[in-house]
A and B are shown apart, each in its own frame.
Chain A
Amino acid sequence: MSAVEVVGLHKQFVRRQGRRRTRVSALEGVSLDIARGECVAILGQNGSGKSTLVRVLSTLLLHDGGSVRVFGHDVARDPRAVRRVVNRVSVEAAFFKRLSATENLAYAARFYGQAPGETRRRIPEILDAVGFPARRARAPMEDLSRGMQQKVALARALLTSPTLLLLDEPTTGLDPRSKLEVQEFIRALRSTHDTTTLLCTHDMAEAEALADRVGILDGGRLLALDVTPALRRRYEAATLEEAFLAATGRTLDDDEDDEEAA
């Protein structure tokens, strides 16, 4: 059984322009398979549909057509079963800013059925594993650097032992050192846990370093999904960046329209 099985996925949003309403496609017939334990990176510009894909897999968005299954569970028909095995880290380390890392992690873990006795033991262990200093564990999140907040976001995801980890631009906006630390942790996680990873990014180097296969998403269409050398061969490119340019006609820095402007 595949960890993730997406077949012909369609999602449109309604966009208002004055009195007119138009439908904009965020995902058009996306199909992909991710094997258990595999790490797949999806490259795409802002607005290419990456976040929409992550949000469908997270059960936060209902799709219009196609089917999406996570470890055999349909995301629309059986969302509770999907939620038990999925967690995510997104570009914004979203927390209650006045609460401490420990408080944010404690209540989040309860939502996954972890009792206080369990979290009292596990939270310090996991914070230590992601390189978060214990002395800051009771400080409000708003007093922490962006890099530290992102480490707590990683800890929050790991605390629930997800078998599918969705990483939506987890290192965007981090300083180089924090970025390397987060990437190193993701790599270590794959070697120690039975975790399947979908990494959405517009960092070519990150995709190449972390993923087994790389997909190119453009305008809601998955143009390619393969190992990096095969992508380079297919587009007769020396680098992944050149392959992306050849596939889409754009660089990753170009923005498409906001995919979810409703």
Chain B
Amino acid sequence: MHVVSGAVRGQAIALMGVVERNAYLVKRYGFWELAFFVWTVANTLTIVFIARGIEATGGRLDVDRQAASLLIGAVIWSYLGIVFEILTETVAWERWEGTIEYTFMAPLSRPIHLIGMGAFGVLYGLLRTAALFAVIALSFGLAFPQADFAAALLLLAVASISFVGVGMVTAVLPLISPEKGAQLGFIAQGLLLVVSGVYYPVDVMPGWMQAIATISPATYALHGIRAAVLDGAGVAAVWGDLWPLLVLGAVAIPAGLAVFAAGERYAKRHGKLKRNG
């Protein structure tokens, strides 16, 4: 019993170590974090301006609602980018720094290692995207009088379980392909969002894309969060989006861990678990 509690305590401390390391990195690269935030703001502005552009060129639409809908899409895109980046880039970064060998020969379990990175990605992603949402909403004078932010946050939290699971799959790519693996993480992010209605309703897509959308957690996250923020839908009203996210999350984490374990075994067999490829 004592041995088991000691092991659990050890793994809890190790998980804290993963979060702590990423916090140190954010602190030490503070200027770059600011630069990336500015880039994300600029990128989001270009998307949200589309709503005003359509009106200015003679189109008829509810500009504020459309701008808010685009903003939610851009914010989710940014959030997913941060979660994937923390999971995928950290492995790639460790390869580059050479610390990957020390991390992978330490006695922290791989699930704890990956969950720690995912936890940091979620916490940091929430802070960054909350700031992004606030800056853009203020810039456009958008108000959300009906919004149920608690329901939106709950949806994002539950969706994050699936996002972390998918991120675990992409995190193994730099182990298998040191040169291009990290970029494949961005491709996965784009593919996930293009089928999920990031800036448009899912039903405008071809049938085969709509079929894929049903297994994408981003579909339910985007639909539910838009309903909560734009229409004030509460937890009960977004249950139709919440339960698929719970199911997908229950599948995504074990699947992500299994894929990562298989990738790690491949890397160990072929001598790729080292710095510089």
Contact = CB atoms under 8 A, between A and B. Distances in A.
B111 to A, nearest CB: 12
A98 interface: yes
Contact of A110 (B13, B99, B104, B265): B13
B128 interface: no
Chain B interface, DSSP helix/strand/loop, else mixed: helix
Given A94-B275, A262-B272, A111 B107 contact: yes
Interface in A98-140: 98-99, 103, 106-115, 140
B63 interface: no
Interface in B25-40: 25, 28-29
B99 A112 contact: no
Contacts of B102: 88, 94, 108, 156
A196 B271 CA distance: 25
A74 interface: no
Interface stretch (B14-22, B43-51, B159-167): B14-22
A92 B268 CA distance: 20
A31 B144 CA distance: 71
B208 interface: no
A96 B108 contact: no
B271 A260 contact: yes
A235 interface: no
A89 to B, nearest CB: 10
Nearest to A141: B97
B32 to A, nearest CB: 10
B214 interface: no
A150 to B, nearest CB: 13
Contact of B273 (A60, A90, A156): A60
B99 A14 contact: no
A58 interface: yes
Interface residues of A, number: 38
A91 B90 CA distance: 23
B105 A110 contact: no
Contacts of B104: 59-60
Interface string B246-277: 00000000000000000001001111111100
A245 interface: no
Contacts of A140: 28
A106 B101 CA distance: 17
Contact of A112 (B18, B98, B107, B270): B107
Given A58-B105, A103-B24, 13 more contacts: A13-B271, A60-B268, A88-B105, A98-B28, A103-B28, A107-B18, A109-B17, A110-B16, A110-B17, A110-B18, A111-B18, A113-B14, A262-B272
Interface of B: 9-11, 13-14, 16-18, 20-21, 24-25, 28-29, 97-99, 101-109, 265, 268-275
